[in-house]
């Protein structure tokens, strides 16, 4: 509750900063303060159990410790993102505080879509989350690719929203309670009625689009590649994790009891996502585009939580969001500073910038899922959850094989960082773009990844608080 209200207010505040204050550096510090306050206020609500403004939500919001813990992860990742890449947001264009304002509106949507208890708020949350993103994608107004990405994202997003709304209408009309509340959707016994089946399929399509699962992933590489790199970093981590959380909560609460009837569809989507994400990432030459495909591949792993739908999966999705966001924000923060976005551009990074090379390596190892990093524990949780589900054990084997394939394209970058000589005489990174505080923050990111890899309980303990 705190997070929803406060993120909206802070967004408006950022907007007014843009209109009344000329300073170019103030918005960044204001945004960092806002993210820190969001983290704090949400933490207080998680700790005390009561929000500051107790508004009668008519039971339309489900404020549980699990949802709040997830939001806490999101706000921590946003804070880190602002501190690491705030300066690069300033470089995108002249409307700096508007970019931050839009990000705060996205956070408002994220807060809504991770605490909703009715289908209406799910729709609102996902819309509030998506619309600012269409604008952010096109933030680089003079760049043709950015414009193209924005328009593509907008058109495809609008279609998928229509499908989502259609699905919600079918679920509403089809359940005998005629209820929008996700915990009161009554499906009856035995086979699902036709209208509910149609609704479930439409919801799966729309939400798979939002989290870029195959075969609804076609917008992802173009949009992630065209958008300014800082916003790609934000979109592919925080927003994607929030989409997954909303997806899983809806299907667990409303359609969990009849999982046997739609599980096959999820199995198909999961395997297709892993296949397309991993195999296509192998052929990419640009690291930015490789990370776009890798985000599809990681989405496949997160879909295992939807396949499993049990307590371990709930813990796993929170852990996976944290691990994936930390590692991707870290690697993107380094990528933005690079002069050349191809894999050859990383050649000899470790010789010129030892710390950056090390942190990039830890992030990539975490994305691969090597032990001692957060990526390993989260992948471990996901696979355990899938095994506990007890059906279709072969999905687990397929997931492990694809995790092994992913090592190929992640390790290629590590190989370039450590074992290759720079391809030209120019430095890989201009030294003046790497400040001391940036290095400290990167080190903190790497340490966080390692801590989550060794003691995942610190995060999961809060979800059961």
Partner 1 sequence: MDFFFLQVQAQNSAENYFPIVIQILFAIGLLTLMIFGSDLLGPKRKTADKLQNFESGIEIKGNARQPIAIKYFLVAILFVLFDVEVIFFYPYAINFRALKWEGFLAVVLFVSSFLAGFIYIFKKGALKWEE
Answer whether 72's CB lies under 8 Å from 41's CB: no
Based on CB atoms, which residue is closest to partner 1, 93 or 193?
A: 193
Q: Does 20 bind partner 1 (CB under 8 A)?
A: yes
Based on CB atoms, which residue is closest to partner 1, 34 or 330?
A: 34
**The one segment of 10-18, 132-140, 288-296, 381-389 that binds partner 1 by CB under 8 A:** 10-18
Query: Minimum distance between the CB of residue 242 and partner 1, rounded to whole angstroms?
Result: 24
- Helix 394-419, helix 354-368: angle, nearest 10: 170
Based on CB atoms, which residue is closest to partner 1, 86 or 174?
A: 174
Based on CB atoms, which residue is closest to partner 1, 61 or 349?
A: 61
Based on CB atoms, which residue is closest to partner 1, 196 or 460?
A: 196
Q: Does 27 bind partner 1 (CB under 8 A)?
A: no
Is residue 6 classed as helix, strand or coil in its secondary structure?
A: helix
Task: Name the nearest CA neighbour of 364 among 320, 400, 332, 402.
Answer: 332
Task: Name the nearest CA neighbour of 174 among 258, 88, 82.
Answer: 258
Neighbours of 457 (CB within 10 A): 11
Query: Minimum distance between the CB of residue 13 and partner 1, rounded to whole angstroms?
Result: 10
Write the interaction track for partner 1 spanning residues 190-229; mark x where CB under 8 A is met and - where it is not: ---xxx----------------------------------
Q: Does 58 bind partner 1 (CB under 8 A)?
A: no
- What is the Cβ-side half-sphere exposure of residue 54, based on CA atoms within 13 angstroms? 3
Among 19, 58, 425, 431, binds partner 1 (CB under 8 A): 19
Answer whether 308's CB lies under 8 Å from 453's CB: no
Query: Minimum distance between the CB of residue 336 and partner 1, rounded to whole angstroms?
Result: 28
Instruction: For residues 380 and 378, give the distance between their C-alpha atoms in angstroms, rounded to a whole number.
Output: 5
Query: Minimum distance between the CB of residue 178 and partner 1, rounded to whole angstroms?
Result: 10
Query: Minimum distance between the CB of residue 179 and partner 1, rounded to whole angstroms?
Result: 14
* Residue 304 token pair: 């295992």
- What is the Cβ-side half-sphere exposure of residue 371, based on CA atoms within 13 angstroms? 0
* Residue 269 token pair: 């989507």
Based on CB atoms, which residue is closest to partner 1, 51 or 316?
A: 51
Q: Does 16 bind partner 1 (CB under 8 A)?
A: yes
Residue 27, preceding bond cis, omega within 30 degrees?
no
Write the interaction track for partner 1 spanning residues 157-176; mark x where CB under 8 A is met and - where it is not: ----------------xx-x
Query: Minimum distance between the CB of residue 175 and partner 1, rounded to whole angstroms?
Result: 9
Encode burial over 221-251: b for 16+ CB neighbours within 10 A, e otherwise: bbbbbbbbbbbbbbbbbbbbbbbbbbbbbbb
Based on CB atoms, which residue is closest to partner 1, 8 or 248?
A: 8
Task: Name the nearest CA neighbour of 107 among 299, 241, 247, 301.
Answer: 241
Is residue 181 classed as helix, strand or coil in its secondary structure?
A: strand
Q: Does 57 bind partner 1 (CB under 8 A)?
A: no
**The one segment of 17-25, 123-131, 236-244, 299-307 that binds partner 1 by CB under 8 A:** 17-25
Give, in degrees to the nearest 5, the angle at Cα 233 between 304 and 12: 110
Based on CB atoms, which residue is closest to partner 1, 201 or 444?
A: 201
**The one segment of 16-24, 122-130, 320-328, 340-348 that binds partner 1 by CB under 8 A:** 16-24
* Residue 422 token pair: 């720079």
Residues that bind partner 1 (CB under 8 A): 12, 15-16, 18-20, 173-174, 176, 193-195
């Amino acid at each position: 509750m705190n997070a929803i209200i406060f993120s909206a207010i802070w967004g408006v505040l950022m907007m007014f900063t843009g209109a009344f204050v000329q300073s170019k550096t103030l918005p960044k510090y204001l945004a960092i303060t806002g993210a820190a306050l969001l983290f704090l206020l949400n933490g207080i609500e998680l700790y005390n159990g009561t929000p500051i403004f107790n508004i009668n939500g008519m039971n339309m919001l489900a404020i549980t410790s699990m949802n709040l813990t997830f939001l806490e992860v999101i706000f921590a990742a946003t804070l880190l993102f602002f501190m690491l890449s705030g300066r690069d947001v300033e470089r995108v264009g002249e409307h700096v505080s508007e970019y931050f304002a839009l990000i705060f509106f996205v956070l408002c949507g994220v807060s809504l879509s991770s605490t909703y208890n009715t289908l209406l708020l799910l729709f609102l949350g996902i819309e509030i989350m998506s619309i600012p993103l269409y604008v952010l994608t096109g933030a680089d107004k003079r760049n043709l690719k950015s414009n193209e990405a924005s328009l593509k994202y907008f058109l495809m997003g609008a279609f998928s929203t229509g499908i989502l709304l259609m699905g919600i209408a079918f679920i509403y009309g089809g359940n005998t309670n005629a209820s929008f509340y996700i915990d009161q959707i009554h499906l009856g016994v035995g086979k699902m009625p036709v209208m509910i089946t149609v609704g479930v399929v439409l919801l799966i399509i729309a939400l798979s689009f939002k989290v870029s699962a195959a075969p609804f992933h076609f917008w992802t590489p173009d949009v992630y590649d065209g958008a300014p790199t800082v916003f790609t970093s934000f979109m592919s981590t925080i927003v994607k994790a929030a989409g997954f959380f909303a997806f899983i909560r809806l299907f667990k609460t409303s359609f969990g009891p009849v999982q046997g009837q739609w599980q096959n569809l999820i199995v198909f989507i999961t395997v297709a996502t892993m296949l397309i994400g991993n195999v296509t990432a192998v052929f990419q030459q640009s690291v930015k585009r490789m990370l776009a495909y890798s985000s599809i591949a990681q989405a496949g792993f997160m879909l295992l939580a939807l396949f499993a739908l049990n307590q371990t999966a709930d813990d796993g999705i929170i852990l996976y969001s944290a691990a994936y966001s930390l590692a991707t924000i870290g690697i993107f923060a380094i990528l933005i500073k690079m002069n050349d976005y191809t894999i050859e551009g990383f050649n000899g990074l470790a010789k010129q910038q030892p710390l950056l090379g090390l942190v990039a390596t830890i992030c990539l190892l975490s994305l691969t899922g090597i032990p001692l990093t957060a990526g390993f524990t989260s992948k471990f949780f996901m696979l355990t959850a899938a095994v506990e589900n007890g059906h279709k054990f072969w999905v687990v084997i397929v997931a492990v094989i694809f995790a092994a394939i992913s090592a190929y394209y992640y390790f290629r970058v590590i190989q370039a960082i450590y074992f290759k000589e720079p391809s030209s005489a120019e430095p890989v990174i201009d030294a003046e773009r790497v400040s001391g505080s940036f290095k400290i923050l990167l080190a903190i990111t790497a340490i966080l990844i390692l801590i989550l890899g060794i003691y995942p309980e610190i995060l999961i303990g809060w979800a059961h608080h």
